[in-house]
Structures are given as C-alpha cells and as structure tokens.
A and B are shown apart, each in its own frame.
Chain A
Amino acid sequence: MSLSVKVNGKKHSVDVDDDTPLLWVLRDVLGMTGTKFGCGKALCGACTVHIDGVATRSCVTPVAGVGTSEIVTIEAVGATDAGARVQKAWLEVEVVQCGYCQSGQIMAATALLTANPNPSDADIDDAMSGNVCRCGTYPRIRAAIKQAAQSVARKGQGG
C-alpha cells in the first residue's frame, strides 16, 4: 500500500511500511540527503525537519503519522523568511566546520526564530540543546541565531 507525503510543497507517493521513519523516506526513497542520520533515537537532532512548522526529529517519526502535514526540509527552508535569515547568518558568522549536523541545527534555529523572533540565551539553550555538534560550533551557532534575530528585528522596524 502506498502512502502520500507532502515534502517542500510537493506530494509524493511512497511504498513503505507505515512505521518507516520519515528520515529514511526522505533520504533513501526520495533522495533528499540534506537531512542527516545521527543516532536513530532523537538524541542528536541531525535529522530535524519541520512538520507544520514544528521542529521534529524525523528519525523517530513514523511516516504514516505525518498524514497530510506539510514537511519542510533543509533543501527548502531557505524559501522561508526565517530560514533564509538563518542561513545568511550562518554564512556571515562562519558557523560550519564538518557541517554534518548543520542541517539539523539550521532547522531547529529556524523553528525557534519563527516562534520567537527575539530569543534570549535561555530560549536558545532550550531550543537548541537537542542538537549535538561534535565540532563544537556552539558559540557560533548562538551568535548566528542572535544575528538572524537582529535582522528580523531590523526588518520589523522597517530597516
């Protein structure tokens, strides 16, 4: 039996078991490899995507449970206002090193800024502590989120 998922605005029909984690549908069935595998148990955040705007660990999300919800991945997050700001800030602050976790970091940061345009350090801790970076880019992730927030604030002021 095939299931239907809507990823980055496009509907796909996939023929997998209901309990197949969304991560593998994205990576192996649909070939969208920007979303990463890190732990398989929602412990590291590398697989973070947005489901109806909410940062979600796709490695433990059964595909059948997603239903008709809108899935957004790193491949398309730059089309959103917050996503584009986060990616820009990531480049300006020179966040990345090996880069493997950064898809998940950017998805988590974008969800944070969408919900909370001006996060405090504690808000950043809460939203981002589920995302492991083995290269230890944390100081720059924090700085980039603040920079992206400021760019939102400036835009809000018409500047």
Chain B
Amino acid sequence: MTILSRRGFLVTGSATAGLLVGVGLPASAAPPSTSVKGFTPNAFVHIGEDGQVTLTMPYVEMGQGTYTSIPMLVAEELEIPLSRVRLEHAPPDEKIYGNPLLAGVQATGGSTAIMASWKPLREAGAVARTLLIQAAAEQWKVASDTCRATAGEVIHAPSGRRASYGTLAATAARLPVPQDVPLKDPKAFKLIGTPAKRLDSGGKVNGTAVFGIDARPPGVKVATLAQSPVFGGRLKRVDDRAATAVKGVRQIVRLDDAVAVVADHMGAALKGLAALEIEWDDGTHRQVSNGQVVRQLEQATLASGPVAEKIGDVTTALASAPTKVEAIYQVPFLAHATMEPMNCTVHVRPGGCDVWVGTQVAARAQAAAARVTGLPLEKVLLHQHLIGGGFGRRLEIDGVARATEIAMKVAGPVKVVWTREEDIRHDMYRPYWLDRMSAGLDGEGRPVAWNHRFAGSSVIARWLPPGFSKGLDPDSVDGAVNLAYDLPNKQVEFLRVEPPGIPTAFWRSVGPSHNVFVVESFMDELAAAARQDPVAYRLALLDKAPRAKAVLALAAQKAGWGETLPPGAGRGVSLQSVFGSYLALVAEIAVAADKSVRVRRVVAAVDCGTVVNPNTVRAQIESGVNFGITAALYGEITVKDGMVEQSNFDDYRMLRIDEAPVIEVHIVPSTESPGGMGEPGTSAIVPAVANAVFAATGRRLRKMPVNLESA
C-alpha cells in the first residue's frame, strides 16, 4: 500500500504499489479528487475507471492502527480485499471530516476513531456497493436484486455476466446517491473481526515511511530554536556573532519569546544554537514551582465544587457509616515525549503558504498558519503526514504557529525541528491533579458512601470552550463518574484550577489517566479496610454491570489470582469502563533490593464490543500498558523557578525492553458496538501497578510515580 497525496494521485494516475512498498508521499490539501475520472459517491470513497479504490482517511495514523481498521470497514461493505484500498490523508475540512464524537473538530483523539467511523464508513462503502450494483443492473437491463458484489466485481449469476468496479464507475457516477442503504449482517462479515495485517508496516520497516520531520521540499533550510526557559518569558537580547560564524548557519530569527537558528542542516543549526548568547526577561512566572501548584490544589479542594455526579445522599451515609476511609491522591505533570520530536515545515510565499506536518488536528493546523500569516484559509496548503507518536501532543497547534512565525522571516521553505530538550521543556503537560477521597463502609465492609472531590486544569475549557459549562467538562471527570460499581451514595466534585503559566493538554487516556488511578487505588484501600480480597470485593459490587464483572473475573482467572508469589512480589488489579470499552488488568510486580519496582507480567481481559481487528486490540493494549508503566514508574515533570527541570531521556525516563513485562490479552467476544482501544491500557495499568506494590510491600502509593525510597 502507499498513501498518496491527492497531488501524487493525480500525477501518478493508475500507479499501483505492492503491500510492502510502504507509506510514501504526504497528502496535500487539494480539493477532493473530483477531477480524477471515476466514481466518488461520498467524501471518503473514490473508485477510478482503472478500478483503483481510494479511501480518504478522516483520522490520522499515529501508531494506533487506524489506517488498517478503518479501511477494513469500507472494504467489508464494498466487497473488496483490503489490499485493494489505497489511502489518502484527508485534507483539512471540518464540515466533511469533522469528528462527530469530538464536537465536529477534525481531530484524531480520545480513542474515538472506530466508534465515530463504525456506521458512517461502513455506509460509505455500502453506498458505493449499492450504486455499482445498480449501474451493472442498468447496463444489463436486469433487476438490481438479481446482482451481487464480490471481490471488486458485480455478478449477475443467472446469466453469468460480470463487470469489474472500474468498468462500472462511469455509470455509477451518474446515478443519484441513495440516502439509506442496508449494511451487511455482521454474520456475513468476511474482514471485520479478522487479524488483518497492518497496511502501514512496509514503509516503517524499510525507512521509506515519511513522517512530518522527513519532509524535504526543494530548497528547504533547517531551523532549531530556543524558547524562554521560564514559562511566559520574553527574549531580551541575543549575541549571535559566534553563531553566525558557524559554517552552514544562514540566519538568526528573533521572535518575542524565542530565537531560531536557520541553517543548511540541523547539525549546523544545533551548533549555531549552542553558540548563541541569549538573555531572557523571565517575566512573571519565575516563582512558579510544583510546591506552589500543589498548595493551590490542596487549598481549592478544602471547599466544595461543582457537582459532576450525585447519587443518593453521601453526607448522611458517610456520617452514619461505622467505618470511614479517607485519602489524598496526587498525579504529576507529564510530558508526551513522542519519539518524533515536535517539528513543522513551512513555506510562506507572497499570497500563499505550505505547511508540512503530522497533526491530529488538520483543520486547526491550517487555521493556525492562516492566522499567523494573515492569509485566507484556502491559501494555506496543509500536507498531512504520518505521526511519529501523538498521545495528544499533536492535538495542539502551538508548534505549527511557532514554525510559521519563523517561516515568515525566512525566504523559502524552512523545517523547524525542536531539540528533545525544547520538546520536553516546552510541552503542554498532562495536568497535575489532587484528589480528596472519602468513603464509608457498612458492617460488612461494603461501601455505602463514596465522595470524590478533585482539582486541576480543565483541558477542555481551553481546547473546546463550549464543552466547559457550569464549572465542569466531560473529560476531567471521565473515569470518576458512571462507575460500573454499585455505589448507593456517591458524589463527585471537580474544581477547575489552572496552574500559573504552565500549559496543559490532553495526554494519552486524558481524564481517565488520573481518575482511574484514584478510583481503583481507593477501591483497593476499601477492600483492605474491609479485610477482603480486592477482586472479590469488586465483584460483589458489579451485579448490575455484567460486562465489567465478566472482564474482571476473566482477568483474575487467567492471571492465577490468589496463587502464591515469591517474597517481594505482588499482584494488583484494576477495572475500568471508559472509551466505550471494559478492561480489567492484573499486574504482577517485583520489588528489588534497591526498592526499584519491575512489572513482570500483565494479564488483560477486554470487552470492547465488536472487534474490528483483534490484532489491533492486542497491540493497543500492549502499547497502552507499556505507556502507562512508564508513567507509573518514572513519569514526573517538575517545575522549579518557573522552568521544567527535565529535558531528555536521561532525566525523563522511558520504559525500555529489559523493563517491559510479558503482556497477555484475552478478548471477550461481543456483538455490541465497538469501543475505543487506543487509550484504555494506559489508564488501567497505573492503579494495577500501585495495587500490586501494596500487595507486595504493604505500602499504599497515593502519589505517582512509584517511589518506595521516600519515607
């Protein structure tokens, strides 16, 4: 498979490529391929007269497998083998490619792509199939219902006539597009539910896959930059004499709060950057520190806040409960640290602008460049690319705006590449959250009152302002409300408190990345207070939630829950119902003599509804779990004197292969609508690890990351 730009498609016409040729060209924002001869029944599917099926992908590939699972939906209904589908990145156009589950923003995030595509993309394929059948029936002067589609052909069995989709494309293109078409009975699925191979692997194993950072428009210069180390600081003075003397350095670009070195290649740009003598005006955030943030959150949570969920009467129930449990939980700021550092290539010309970038928000990226240049939207051509790790970082357009600011001052195209240090110190961070939990247990140890009050940044309030209403937003409380557990008296309150000067953003598993840790750790505390087994304790609260109960029971059974482990080892469990999927994890950890923690084995049981591609489900659980273990064991961004203290993989540590657990995934068959799988593993593993540490050591970890050395 190749992924072609619309321009590439026009140029190469009927060029075909084998499965292993790989992802090639970036997509451009040219208008839909109506100029290409063929049949375009909707914004997603195009069938050329040569029979080539091209799918315009509304969601972008960043590792999660969407460039395989979404084509499967279309190919299933269109009755073609998956290998026949060629992909194009969608151009920026929110009216056509907006995500219905993210308020119409053209965004890939929140584990929504399959949920959002499940009906529309199958319909896109079914409409095309229906029209191709009609076209054949018309040509043959037979009834449509005597024809059927299979393997890229329409067949009229009674007469033995057959016609390929390509030969029918011109006729089909003239037919009116039907409003309602029948979708296939799931029992007839040939492709959905099979472990079809990823379509994007070929180019990713031979170096031909093109990420944003690989864009090389003719004449491109490379720039790297330094931004004010203190949040919100300004550039005061730069001595660039030594930098401009570096071979290959072409230009120094000064912005209000940053300075960039433009060079023939990144090596020269880096050398030039190191040679700059920069003075900053630190501005007003010099005093900002983690301690200040924590005090702010502690203070805020002393008072009650907007109520996100209220069941029964938690105050009365708490007052009368024989046993009370209270705890304060905290989770740190986290950086995304995508393997592909932030980058964006921009060419500002008189009257136009090109942007080459891998972005989770194509339309917003285009708009950002338009805003900076003052150009109308249609003059900004966005070339979408594969994404070398998103995790929410590329739901933001600060990098596009920054690169465009630099490009405004450079003649010709310039690729702006963040150093890893700049990438980590000028990320937009997973918020710090602080939670006050209190619960009351009855005489049998069952929770009769559950009170959860927490404070932190609302990413939604900035990212999608209408989503923040009456002091609440759906993401901040996701994983805290609508729990699977039967809790007769429950209250959840959220207080929006923005950290001074520290930008926050979505981070893989978003709201649940924090809430599931708190809820599942506290549930473990309640089981301990009740002197009950953590799995049995949870199961007893799940009679009204059979899917949740089933995954928990399955994970426990497969993990050998209750079997003896050697000293220093422990098992911990977690259960969650977020992103439309049910996931239970059992983590097995071992504590070494130096008190470091190693996760040895993770057993997952998942019910994500109808499985489109079981291999993707497994891969995303493996991925999400390892991502979450990095956070649980090592993840912490700290701010001191208004600056982020971490800078690279030596002080912002990543899980490595020698530290990664064996991961087993068990999928519960289901005919429910599909749920999301890109993120659940990340939120679920953190409490499973913390609970396993408790089982091994008796130490309850209420603050991430895991640290057994502190008192």
Residues of A participating in the B interface, judged by any CB pair closer than 8 Å: 16-17, 19-21, 23-25, 27-29, 31-41, 43-44, 46, 73-75, 78, 87, 90-91, 94-103, 106, 124-126, 128-142
Contacts and interface: CB of A to CB of B under 8 A. Distances in A.
Interface string B172-210: 000000000000000000000000011011111111111
A27 B340 CA distance: 14
Contact of A20 (B222, B265, B338, B650): B265
B660 interface: yes
Interface stretch (B62-70, B118-126, B491-499): B62-70
Contacts of B626: 135-136, 138
Nearest to A24: B267
A139 B660 contact: yes
Contacts of B248: 16-17
Given A94-B201, A139-B663, A142-B657, A40 B268 contact: no
Contact of A40 (B206, B389, B419, B629): B419
Interface stretch (B254-262, B544-552, B555-563, B615-623): B615-623
Contact of A128 (B198, B339, B657): B657
Given A75-B208, A128-B658, 20 more contacts: A20-B265, A20-B271, A25-B265, A29-B265, A36-B211, A37-B213, A37-B266, A44-B654, A87-B206, A90-B205, A96-B201, A124-B657, A128-B657, A131-B656, A134-B338, A136-B655, A138-B657, A138-B660, A139-B662, A140-B622
A106 B207 CA distance: 10
A46 B339 contact: yes
Interface in B651-706: 654-660, 662-663
B198 A94 contact: yes
B206 A34 contact: yes
Most buried by B among A36, A106, A131: A36
Nearest to A102: B204
A103 B206 CA distance: 7
A137 B388 CA distance: 14
B659 to A, nearest CB: 8
B20 interface: yes
A66 B660 CA distance: 34
A90 B200 CA distance: 12
A98 B657 contact: no
17 contacts: A16-B267, A20-B268, A24-B267, A33-B207, A39-B648, A39-B649, A41-B649, A44-B339, A91-B202, A94-B198, A98-B340, A99-B388, A100-B389, A129-B657, A129-B659, A132-B649, A132-B654
B341 interface: yes
A94 B619 contact: yes
Judged by DSSP, the binding face of A is loop
B339 A134 contact: yes
B388 A98 contact: yes
Contacts of B63: 96-99, 135
Contacts of A34: 206-208
B417 interface: yes
Contacts of B205: 87, 90-91, 95-96, 99, 102, 106
A139 B678 CA distance: 17
